[in-house]
Every structure is written in structure tokens, then in C-alpha cells.
């Protein structure tokens, strides 16, 4: 939201900016957009601290701007998925204000997790939980009680054992469904409920690490609690009341594919992010294991898999895979393999340009993770998109705009404009791969057959349905060229052409008819 396109030149992306760029997205060949939160918010965690779930923050525009963006997207055949943040609100939410004013034992306070402290005078936090962003997960209020915030101190956790919280969120879902959204991305979908008695986290430093590591540590008594599933069953019914193909996808960083599958049982969420592809190291075996475990998990519950290589919380894949030409080559190859798999692929803005992680100067960093001493933070993957021109703001906003995070000079060669003119660019690759994928979609079986082409090589095939052609994908994670001449001419390549001897280079992937 903040980093895509800024129509009013205040340095922060907005709804009018998105509307103006919808033709670009349609041309890219996507089916839906997911917008990070645009609700009224102090922006401490860049929108994930919501003060009013039914209002658009003036920073991003108005409710009318949202409706116009949504209508324009629908006209172009693009569905609109919005972010819902049910684990916590902002401390600027009127409920939290009321909780502070009404005091101990009040129904207002019971909407959040307030507890007395431990030790003499209750001076110690109620337990040893640490914030995902670093530091304590508890803050003390004037009357001596403590409140829980698994994230920033201005993001108090709701108490989901209080039925009023669930009712309020159902009403929020309906508010946006009534406005025509197609679905929701559920923030911290494995959070919300906490283990009874709020037990200490045992046997670890109880904090630290990058967001994906902390969020995926399934030993913590605040993740993946069984009662979550009752909520998702209720939300399933809410979505089913509306016409059209409504859906919800959970951001559930759970430790195994089997745990992930519990969120997508037939009467729960439609999809869950499969972060195991993103977490996999550069290894054919690791990718094969993720594929095998994913299908073994989602198959029995009848759900379709999702694939993710990147998002606004993790280091961009180009950098994760080694940076420079190597990192770019590998990220394109991993993407091509991912796009060949049955299921839904999620692409993070800028991934189609091959943007690297930016080393944002310390004095410009804004992520609460950095500000709370929890590490370098996520600003490096959130630097505003380069659209055109040779100098900042690279078309992100009108000339003279100062983007909320500084763009590096190196973005000049990565703009949409520059890449559109180059048939060998990453953008041209993405456009071609998405177009091909769309063409093939209806002709391919949802089943997958793994092929053994030796160590270091991931290979699989999808059969064609109704006599249509199938698709084989080969990803070379090894150190040496891999002969693919037996598979015929490639339909798509992630990188340099296959040489005359029919060999696929290391760190490259290809599709073939099969």
C-alpha cells in the first residue's frame, strides 16, 4: 500500500495511486490484488496498528477512493483482497481508550489481555513473553495492570476469549464484504488465542530473530491454539452468505505443512500462505520436500496449495539467494518452478522487477523492529517501487516527491519503464511466464508427478487433461549444467538460453511440453 504508487506526492503510496496503476497490473496478468492495511492508523507498524477498521486513513485517501479503486479493478477483471488485522488493534482504537478509562475488572478492559504483574507490588510482567519486534510483550498502565502486545507496545492484543471481540470482527468482515471486496488476508492468523493461564515460554530466550523465525516458532503458547478454528468456521459461514467467489487466506506461520492444512479444512479458510517454499534453502531436495509435504498435507482436506517466495516482511529473494546476477538468476528460477505448480502463486510488488533488498541507511529506517532493537528490520524490502525516469522518486510520485523510504540510485536500471523496453528483463520474463501459465492453466491436471533427474535437479510433470499437452518443469539447483535435450524445445526459460548441446545452466529453470 505505502510503497506502490503515490498520487498526491506526500511520499506514501495511496489508493488513487493504485487506481492509476491498475492497467499495469492487468497487463502483468494477475488475478487479484492484496492490499496491506489502509485503515485509520497512527502508522507505527505501517498500518498493522488499526485505530478504526471501518475508516480509510487520510494518508491513503477516502472510502470513496477505495470504492473507485475496487470498481476499476473489477472492471479489469482483478479481484480485491484486503488485509484484516484481528490479533491486535492500535492503542489509538476507541476500545483501548475505553479500556484504560474504565479500569480494572471492567467489560471494556476485558476486550484486551490485561493482567496483574508478578513479584512484589506486581512490578514484574505477568509472564516472560517477548514482543516479535523485540523487547517485552507487556506494558504497564497507570493503575498498575499490564497489557499484552505481541508486537509493538501500541498494538494491544485482543482477548479472543471474549465473545464481543469475535462479534465485532464478523461485523467488520460484513462491512467490507458489503462494499464488494472479494476476500481477506488474515494477519497473524495463527495468533489471536493464547494458551490458558498464559504460561511462560519455556527453554528459550523468549524473543529475538527475524519476524518469520519468531512467528514460526510453534512452541510458543500464543501461536496455533486449537480454538482459532472455531473462528475460521464462523468466518467461512459469513463469506458463504455472499454471492461470488469470496475467500480468506491466513497468514499462519506454522511449523509444518500438516499444521498449515488444519486452517484450510473444508469448512474453514479457503487458503493459507505456504511459507515453507519461501523458507526453503537453495536446494533441489529442500524444494522437493516442501512440494511433497505440501501436497500430502492439503490433499486430504481437499484444499489447493499456495506458493510464496516473498512478502513485505522478509528479505527479498534476489538478496536471499546470494545477490547480484546469481541471486537474480536463482529467484527467477525459483519463481518459474513455483508458477508451474498447481495452486495459487502470490507475488510481492517489485518481485516482478527483480528488486533486491535495499540497505536503508540507519537514520532513515522506520520499521518498529529496528526502533525496538529487534534487528535491522524490514524496511529494505519495502522501498517504494521504481516506475520510470533516472532519479528518485522514479515515478513513484510526482516530481519532487520524497518517498517515505529513500530509493537507491541503482533503481534507475530497474524501473518498469526501463525493463519494459528490454525483452531480456525480469519484468518481460514475468509477463511471459504469467501469460503462459494462464494459457496452460485449464489444460493441466492438478496432480503432480515428481521426476528423478539426478542430484541437484528438481523436476516434475503435470499431465495434460482431455488430450491437451502437459507441462514438465526442471530447476537446476546444482553446480553443473544439466542436459535437457531429451525434453525437446523449452516453452519458457528463467534465464540464459539453453546452449546448443541442450544443457540447462546451474541456477536456471525451464518449462517443456510433456
The residue ranges that bind ligand NOJ (CB under 6 A) are 45, 48, 85, 151, 187-188, 251, 312-313
What is the Cα 272 distance to its own chain's centre? 10
Question: Min. distance of Cβ 87 from ligand NOJ in angstroms?
Answer: 7
Please say which residue, 151 or 321, places its beta carbon nearer to ligand NOJ: 151
Torsion of CA 4, 8, 14, 19, to 10 degrees: -80
By beta carbon distance, the residue nearest ligand NOJ is 48
By beta-carbon proximity to ligand NOJ, the closer residue of 348 and 430 is 348
Partners of residue 119 on adjacent β-strands: none
Q: How far is the CB of 73 from ligand NOJ (least distance, A)?
A: 21
Burial 355-377 (b: 16+ CB within 10 A, else e): bbbbebeeeebbbbbbebebebb
* CA distance linking residue 68 with residue 188, whole number of Å: 28
**187 catalytic per annotation:** yes
Q: Considering the complex, what minimum distance in angstroms separates the CB of residue 151 from ligand NOJ?
A: 5
CA separation for the pair 396, 334 (Å, rounded): 28
Q: Which listed residue (142, 241, 467, 486) is catalytic?
A: 241
CB-wise, 231 or 487, nearer to ligand NOJ?
231
In the numeric block, the cell 516527491 is attached to: 401
User: What is the Cα–Cα distance from 279 to 209, expressed in whole angstroms?
Assistant: 14
Q: How far is the CB of 208 from ligand NOJ (least distance, A)?
A: 16
Minimal distance, residue 122 CB to ligand NOJ, in Å: 28
Rank residues 248 and 508 by Cβ distance to ligand NOJ and give the closer one.
Answer: 248
Neighbours of 486 (CB within 10 A): 8
Among 129, 3, 46, 22, smallest CA distance to 371 is for 46
Active-site choice (6, 14, 49, 187): 187
22 vs 92 by CB, closer to ligand NOJ: 92
CB 195 within 8 A of CB 222: yes
293: annotated active-site residue: no
Q: Nearer Cβ to ligand NOJ, position 40 or 85? A: 85
d(CA 321, CA 327): 5
Alpha carbon separation from 371 to 125, 207, 358, 377 (Å, rounded): 21, 15, 18, 8
Q: How far is the CB of 253 from ligand NOJ (least distance, A)?
A: 9
* Cβ count near 200 (within 10 Å): 12
* C-beta of residue 432 within 8 angstroms of C-beta of residue 28: no
Question: Catalytic site residues?
Answer: 187, 241
Amino acid at each position: 500500500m505505502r510503497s506502490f504508487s503515490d498520487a498526491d506526492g506526500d511520499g506514501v503510496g495511496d489508493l488513487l495511486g493504485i487506481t492509476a496503476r491498475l492497467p499495469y497490473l492487468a497487463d502483468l496478468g494477475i488475478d487479484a490484488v492484496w492490499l496491506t492495511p489502509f485503515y485509520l492508523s497512527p502508522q507505527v507498524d505501517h498500518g498493522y496498528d488499526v485505530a478504526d477498521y471501518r475508516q480509510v486513513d487520510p494518508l491513503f485517501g477516502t472510502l470513496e477512493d477505495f470504492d473507485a479503486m475496487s470498481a476499476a479493478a473489477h472492471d479489469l477483471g482483478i479481484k480485491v483482497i484486503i488485509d484484516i488485522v484481528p490479533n491486535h488493534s492500535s492503542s489509538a482504537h476507541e476500545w483501548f481508550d475505553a479500556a484504560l478509562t474504565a479500569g480494572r475488572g471492567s467489560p471494556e478492559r476485558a476486550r484486551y489481555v490485561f493482567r496483574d504483574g508478578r513479584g512484589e507490588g506486581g512490578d514484574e510482567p505477568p509472564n516472560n513473553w517477548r514482543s516479535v519486534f523485540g523487547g517485552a510483550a507487556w506494558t504497564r498502565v497507570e493503575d498498575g495492570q499490564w497489557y499484552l502486545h505481541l508486537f509493538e507496545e501500541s498494538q494491544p492484543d485482543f482477548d479472543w476469549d471474549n465473545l464481543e471481540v469475535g462479534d465485532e470482527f464478523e461485523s467488520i468482515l460484513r462491512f467490507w464484504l458489503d462494499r464488494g471486496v472479494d476476500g481477506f488476508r488474515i494477519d497473524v492468523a495463527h495468533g489471536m488465542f493464547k494458551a490458558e493461564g498464559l504460561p511462560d515460554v519455556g527453554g528459550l530466550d523468549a524473543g529475538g530473530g527475524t519476524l518469520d523465525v519468531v512467528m514460526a516458532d510453534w512452541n510458543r503458547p500464543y501461536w496455533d491454539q486449537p480454538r482459532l478454528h472455531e473462528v475460521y468456521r464462523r468466518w467461512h459461514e459469513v463469506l458463504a452468505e455472499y454471492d461470488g467467489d469470496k475467500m480468506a487466506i491466513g497468514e499462519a506461520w506454522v511449523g509444518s505443512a500438516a499444521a498449515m492444512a488444519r486452517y484450510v479444512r473444508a469448512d474453514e479458510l479457503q487458503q493459507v500462505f505456504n511459507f515453507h517454499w519461501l523458507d526453503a534453502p537453495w536446494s533441489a531436495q529442500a524444494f522437493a520436500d516442501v512440494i511433497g509435504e505440501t501436497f500430502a498435507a492439503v490433499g486430504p482436506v481437499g484444499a489447493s496449495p499456495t506458493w510464496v517466495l516473498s512478502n513485505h516482511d522478509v528479505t527479498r529473494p534476489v538478496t536471499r539467494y546470494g545477490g547480484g546476477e546469481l541471486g537474480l538468476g536463482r529467484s527467477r528460477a525459483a519463481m518459474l518452478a513455483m508458477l508451474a505448480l498447481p495452486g495459487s502463486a502470490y507475488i510481492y510488488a517489485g518481485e516482478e522487477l527483480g528488486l533486491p533488498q535495499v540497505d536503508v541507511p540507519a537514520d532513515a529506517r522506520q520499521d518498529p523492529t529496528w526502533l525496538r532493537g529487534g534487528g535491522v528490520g524490514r524496511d529494505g524490502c519495502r522501498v517504494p517501487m521504481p516506475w520510470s525516469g533516472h532519479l528518485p522518486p522514479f515515478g513513484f510520485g510526482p516530481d519532487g516527491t520524497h518517498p517515505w523510504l529513500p530509493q537507491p540510485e541503482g533503481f534507475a536500471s530497474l524501473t518498469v519503464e526501463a525493463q519494459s523496453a528490454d525483452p531480456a528483463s525480469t519484468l518481460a520474463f514475468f509477463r511471459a511466464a504469467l501469460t503462459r501459465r494462464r494459457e496452460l492453466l485449464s489444460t493441466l491436471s492438478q496432480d503432480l508427478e515428481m521426476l528423478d533427474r539426478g542430484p541437484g535437479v528438481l523436476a516434475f510433470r503435470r499431465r495434460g487433461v482431455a488430450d491437451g499437452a502437459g507441462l514438465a518443469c526442471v530447476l537446476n539447483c546444482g553446480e553443473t549444467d544439466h542436459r535437457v535435450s531429451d525434453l525437446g524445445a523449452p516453452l519458457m526459460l528463467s534465464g540464459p538460453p539453453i546452449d546448443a548441446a541442450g544443457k540447462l545452466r546451474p541456477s536456471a529453470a525451464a518449462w517443456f511440453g510433456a
